Structure 1
């Protein structure tokens, strides 16, 4: 099957806000907690997911961070969310403000068009 016929990856923009418990920790405690309680669970229980973090607290009080996830498919994304909900990340360290989930250039695939973008991929 060619790349044109495979399902596109799922991209999720997870808009989050830091909680008091997270902010009460030192930076070293945060890194350790995130690595041992969140990332280790993700690595142990999921496959086909990748992420990037963006700090937004300099510009927004409602959303302090955006965690961008890319999953190979909807099943990998759903498993990721299940895993995150079982860690202190979900509603202890961070409030999940919103989840924006989509596939890149879905309209182009639907209508058989070339994607409109400023960067070619």
Structure 2
């Protein structure tokens, strides 16, 4: 039986800048906003997405944070963006500066070659 090829995961790097409204919140208020306003909306509207967050305000004035979202497929990613846009994080607490979307090692799949990577020991 042929192996069913699956769509590669989608990775989105969402570059954002904090707004004065977000910065006016205390740290406990920020955690509460995330856990009560953002996470429930994402969990109710999507499946197959994971996130990581990176602080960049130490090194950049234009982008203060990078949200890295991985989605099982393009449909899951689209549902994620729809969900995020309905929360105060999208253009209220954070200005979305740019979105970079890709699939890891797409060239290797397209050309049927092994991915090139570095390994440091």
Q: In the alignment, what sits opposite 2:26?
A: 26
User: Structure 2: how far apart are the matches of 1:45 and 1:8?
Assistant: 21
Q: Mark the runs of 5 or more structure 1 residues left unpaired by the alignment.
A: none
User: Structure 2: how far apart are the matches of 1:117 and 1:100?
Assistant: 21
Secondary structure at the residue paired with 2:110? helix
CA RMSD in angstroms comes to 1.2
Q: Are 1:112 and 2:112 counterparts?
A: yes
Q: In the alignment, what sits opposite 1:81?
A: 81
Q: In the alignment, what sits opposite 2:65?
A: 65
CA offsets 1:73-117 (integer angstroms, 9 cap, x no match)? 000000000000001000000000000000000001001110001
Secondary structure at the residue paired with 1:92? coil
When the two structures are aligned, how many residues end up with a matched partner? 118
User: Structure 2: how far apart are the matches of 1:74 and 1:118?
Assistant: 28
1:6 Cα deviation (Å)?
1.3
Secondary structure at the residue paired with 1:107? helix
1:2 Cα deviation (Å)?
4.2
Q: How does 1:11-50 map to 2 (within 5 A)?
A: 11-50=11-50
Q: In the alignment, what sits opposite 1:102?
A: 102
1:45 Cα deviation (Å)?
1.1
Secondary structure at the residue paired with 2:97? strand
TM-score by length of 2: 0.94
User: Structure 2: how far apart are the matches of 1:2 and 1:57?
Assistant: 45
Runs of 4 or more consecutive aligned structure 1 residues displaced over 6 Å after TM superposition: none
Q: In the alignment, what sits opposite 1:91?
A: 91
Q: Mark the runs of 5 or more structure 2 residues left unpaired by the alignment.
A: none
TM-score by length of 1: 0.94
